[in-house]
């Protein structure tokens, strides 16, 4: 990404002039080049190195730093140590990207004006009189058309001709030409217009990325022939033969070096449930800090966590499993697919009870109480939290300013804003999922289960009122139940949305078209009798567990204490961001590590306020039936709006919830609610 850099130290044996060469491959950006700012000892030696281009080529090649005439630059270096740095810059493309970004803002503004008249699904047979209602529209279309045309010409000049990078811009420009001729044509192409605008936004995200593969750097004397080639047919053939051979003997699930178990040194096996990049960073941190401090070796394996229970039953399981189980809170199964696994495994004696360790109470202080609730059952603790995310309210500053609206503080305020948005063919965005239902349930003062967790508590007045309110948002106020709120937030169709706070990372990286035009704040709440606002929300996250079958429980406990510590969670978060960008920011559950992450001040303040209002969701045997039946009742109400009663549908499904809880409690020889 732009602004990121890497640097290397090197030694020069004697003072003199040197050439610098790179063994590189740039097969990512076709038709144009990627740019690097190259400095020696912190200085750009001459202007050409402030924006040096590496052009597209599908194969590895050796490139010396040279001028337009293919003459290698001779760089004077004193004998001794030096530092070479390469920094990602946009170079000549910065002005193009600036033009396109400005055009994109104008295109989005035009789209919002159009849908206020036609809606997002206009009737092609209606006469919307767009030209009469928007007399300034033609001039705006001409302006953005000319700006895009200028960007395309500039891009061709920089690239030295046409390239596939201009296709998206050309498509958008051509559609604008048709709309300039007839603005009423918008009613037929408003959907394709939105798609093209989104494609321009995606183009911007890709243009900012300037990838380059670099294998070797050569510092050599001008009289030395450094034309290095390693990509001959025979070398490639030998490489592929070696790959084929090693594929039969290498365990690709193992990450890094593998330690043998011995009597003098203990070796534990760690399963990681995310991606290879994450596993490599974890292995590096283990080797650099954990093993050096404790003498405990760790073999890291990248494994599908869906096989954890089967592997444990077969005697092939790990000692420790981490990042169990990261799910996407956008989907309806957000809580049940993630937070109930440690409790279910614990009741089956598959994971160890952490209460056996004397310093558990001290370790729990690292987290908010809400993070520990899902992993605690009765007096047992089956896991430690790693990540914790929860809903936040995202809003478009520019659109709220246009409409003269302020941020809603309560759900009554939201309903007032919904009417204003509806008049402008916009809407409030909130998809139906468990986190959003629990938000309302907690704010109404309800909970999933009774005090001893033997039956559902949704039949209370608080539970029924929360469910009615939840359903009414989709029946009376017609909130969209399917379409992505993130996409509609970008286009401006939903200027206010409720979404998991990890969406922040996506907007930061993949939505340059609305950079600086949005913010987020704590969710709306319910005003209490004393005048304060209850903004309680639920959370979801990943966990780490120790398997009951492990022979090294003490060593495993030392590991998860190390892994969930503020120091390591901070290091892991920074490493992931440096490796994969801001989109990989870790939503750590460690309070101290959360404070150390590089959040902007205003965003950190908003997050911290909401973090303090997070309420943990208890997990019980048979609890997987709870959300399933709430969801069934919800869709029965929202699809049969004329006949279905929210109260009756919920009460009918509570019967199934309680039956499943009783069934599971019998299985585990626990007392029933009626005992």
Peptide bond between residue 653 and the one before it cis (omega within 30 degrees of 0): no
Domain boundary among 208, 243, 278: 208
The Cα 106–Cα 83 span in angstroms is 44
Residues forming a β-bridge with 21: 64, 218
CB 319 within 8 A of CB 269: yes
Residue 454 has pLDDT above 80, yes or no: yes
Q: Is the pLDDT of residue 334 over 60?
A: no
Same domain membership, residue 284 and residue 354: yes
- Comparing CA positions, the residue from 57, 87, 97 lying closest to residue 207 is 97
Tell me how far CA of residue 168 lies from CA of 55, 93, 98, in angstroms. Answer: 21, 16, 16
Same domain, 384 and 522: no
With respect to residue 236, please indicate whether it lies within any of the assigned structural domains.
Answer: no
Same domain, 113 and 152: yes
Does 629 lie in the same domain as 597? no
pLDDT at site 226: 66
When mean pLDDT is compared across 26-35, 510-519, 545-554, the lowest value belongs to 26-35
Q: CB within 8 A of 390, min separation 6: which ones?
A: 435, 500, 501, 537, 538, 539, 540, 610, 611, 614
What is the Cα Rg of the chain in Å?
29
CB 513 within 8 A of CB 104: yes
Is there a contact between 283 and 256 (Cβ–Cβ < 8 Å)?
yes
Distance between CA atoms of residues 462 and 526, nearest Å: 12
623 and 496 together in one domain: yes
pLDDT of the residue at 564: 95
pLDDT at 251 over 70: no
- How high is the pLDDT of residue 497? 96
List the CATH number of the domain containing 31: 2.60.120.260
- pLDDT, one tens digit per residue, over 52-63 is 888 877 778 888
Q: What percent of the chain has pLDDT over 70?
A: 93
Q: Parallel, antiparallel, or unpaired: how do β-strands 267-272 and 526-527 relate?
A: unpaired
Q: Within 13 Å of residue 301, how many CA atoms lie on the same side as its CB?
A: 20
Q: Is the pLDDT of residue 250 over 80?
A: no
Residues 344/539, Cβ–Cβ less than 8 Å: no
**pLDDT of 538 over the 60 cut:** yes
Whether 240 is in a domain gets the answer no
Percentage of the chain surpassing pLDDT 90? 56
Same domain for 595 and 484? no
| Residue 413 and residue 487 in one domain | yes
The domain total for the chain is 4
Q: What is the mean pLDDT of the chain?
A: 88
Q: ∠ CA(80), CA(86), CA(91), 5° rounding?
A: 140
What pLDDT shows up at residue 258? 60
**Same domain flag for 54 and 82:** yes
Tell me: do 500 and 649 sit in the same domain: yes
Residues 290 and 367 in one domain: yes
Confidence of residue 253 (pLDDT cuts 50, 70, 90): low
- Range of 481's domain? 391-538+618-667
Q: What secondary structure letter does DSSP report for 259?
A: P
| Rounded-to-integer distance, Cα 525 and Cα 439, Å | 9
Q: Average pLDDT in the 431-444 region?
A: 95
pLDDT recorded at residue 513: 80
Predicted confidence (pLDDT) per residue in 545-562, tens digit:
999 999 999 999 999 999
Please tell me the predicted confidence (pLDDT) of residue 577: 84
Same domain assignment for residues 274 and 338 = yes
Measure the CA–CA gap between 129 and 214, rounded to whole angstroms: 57
pLDDT over threshold 50, residue 377: yes
Name the β-bridge partners of 66.
72
**What's the pLDDT band for 28 if we cut at 50, 70, 90?**
confident
Q: Is residue 522 part of a domain?
A: yes
Do the domain assignments include residue 652?
yes
Q: Tell me, yes or no, whether 355 and 324 share the same domain.
A: yes
Q: Is residue 223 over pLDDT 70?
A: yes
- Would you say residue 530 has pLDDT above 50? yes
Residue 340, pLDDT score: 84
Residue 246 belongs to a domain: no
Least confident of 334-343, 515-524, 543-552, 638-647: 334-343
In a domain, 490, yes or no: yes
Q: How far apart are the first and last CA of the chain?
A: 62
pLDDT for 203 beyond 80: yes
Whether 158 has a pLDDT exceeding 80, the answer reads no
CATH code, domain with 491:
3.40.190.10
Say if 248 falls within a structural domain: no
Segment 565-618, tens digit of pLDDT: 999 999 999 888 877 777 788 899 999 999 998 888 899 999 999 999 999 999
Give the contacts of 237 (CB within 8 A, at least 6 positions apart).
Answer: none
Q: Yes or no: say if 54 and 33 are a contact pair by the CB < 8 Å rule.
A: yes
Average pLDDT over residues 409-414: 96
Domain assignment of residue 245, yes or no: no
């Amino acid at each position: 990404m732009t602004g990121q850099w890497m640097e290397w130290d090197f030694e020069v044996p004697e003072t003199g002039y040197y050439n610098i060469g790179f063994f590189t491959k740039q097969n990512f950006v076709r038709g144009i080049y990627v740019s690097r700012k190259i400095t020696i000892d912190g200085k750009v030696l001459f202007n050409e190195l402030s924006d040096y281009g590496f052009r597209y080529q599908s194969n590895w090649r050796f490139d010396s730093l040279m001028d337009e005439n293919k003459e290698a630059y001779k760089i004077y270096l004193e004998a001794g140590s030096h530092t070479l740095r390469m920094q990602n810059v946009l170079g000549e493309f910065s002005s193009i990207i600036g033009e396109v970004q400005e055009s994109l803002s104008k295109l989005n503004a035009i789209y919002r004006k159009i849908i206020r008249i036609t809606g997002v699904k206009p009737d092609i047979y209606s006469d919307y009189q767009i030209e009469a209602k928007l007399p300034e529209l033609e001039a705006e279309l001409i302006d953005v058309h000319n700006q895009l045309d200028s960007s395309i010409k500039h891009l061709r000049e920089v690239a030295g001709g046409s390239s596939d990078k201009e296709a998206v811009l050309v498509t958008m420009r051509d559609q604008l030409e048709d709309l300039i001729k007839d603005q009423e044509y918008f009613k037929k192409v408003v959907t394709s217009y939105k798609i093209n605008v989104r494609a321009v936004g995606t183009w911007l995200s890709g243009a900012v990325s300037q990838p380059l593969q670099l294998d070797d750097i050569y510092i050599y004397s001008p009289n030395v022939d450094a034309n290095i080639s390693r990509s001959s047919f025979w070398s490639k053939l030998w490489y592929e033969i070696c790959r084929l051979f090693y594929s039969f003997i290498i365990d690709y699930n193992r990450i890094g070096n593998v330690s043998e178990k011995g009597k003098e040194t203990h070796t534990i096996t760690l399963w990681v449930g995310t991606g290879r990049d994450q596993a490599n960073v974890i292995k590096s941190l283990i080797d650099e800090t954990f093993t050096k401090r404790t003498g405990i070796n760790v073999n890291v394996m990248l494994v599908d966590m869906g096989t954890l229970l089967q592997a444990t039953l077969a005697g092939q399981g790990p000692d420790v499993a981490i990042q169990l189980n990261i799910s996407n809170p956008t989907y309806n199964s957000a809580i049940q697919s993630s937070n109930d696994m440690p409790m279910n495994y614990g009741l089956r004696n598959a994971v160890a009870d952490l209460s056996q360790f004397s310093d558990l109470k001290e370790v729990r202080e690292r987290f908010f109480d809400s993070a520990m609730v899902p992993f605690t059952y009765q007096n047992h603790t089956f896991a430690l939290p790693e990540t914790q995310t929860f809903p936040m309210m995202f809003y478009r500053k520019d659109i709220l300013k246009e409409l003269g609206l302020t941020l809603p503080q309560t759900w009554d305020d939201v309903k007032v804003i919904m009417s204003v948005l509806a008049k402008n063919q916009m809407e409030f965005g909130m998809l139906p999922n468990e986190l959003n239902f629990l938000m309302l349930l907690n704010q109404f003062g309800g909970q999933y289960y009774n005090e001893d967790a033997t039956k559902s508590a949704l039949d209370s007045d608080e539970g029924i009122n929360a469910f009615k309110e939840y359903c009414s948002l989709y029946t009376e106020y017609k909130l969209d139940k399917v379409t992505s709120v993130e996409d509609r937030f970008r286009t401006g169709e939903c200027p206010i949305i409720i979404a998991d706070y990890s969406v922040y990372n996506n907007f930061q990286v993949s939505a340059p078209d609305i950079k600086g035009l949005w913010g987020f704040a704590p969710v709306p709440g319910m005003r209490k009798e004393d005048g304060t606002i209850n903004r309680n929300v639920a959370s979801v996250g990943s966990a780490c567990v120790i398997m009951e079958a492990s022979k090294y429980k003490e060593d495993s406990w030392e590991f998860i204490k190390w892994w969930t510590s503020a120091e390591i969670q901070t290091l892991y978060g920074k490493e992931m961001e440096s490796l994969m960008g801001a989109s990989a920011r870790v939503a750590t559950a460690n309070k101290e590590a959360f404070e150390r992450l590089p959040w902007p001040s205003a965003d950190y303040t908003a997050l911290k306020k909401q973090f303090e209002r997070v309420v943990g969701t208890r997990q019980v045997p048979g609890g997987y039936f709870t959300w399933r039946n709430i969801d069934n009742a919800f869709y029965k109400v929202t699809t049969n709006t004329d006949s279905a009663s929210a109260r009756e549908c919920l009460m009918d499904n509570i019967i199934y919830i309680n039956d499943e809880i009783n069934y599971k409690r019998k299985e585990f020889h626990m007392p029933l609610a009626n005992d």
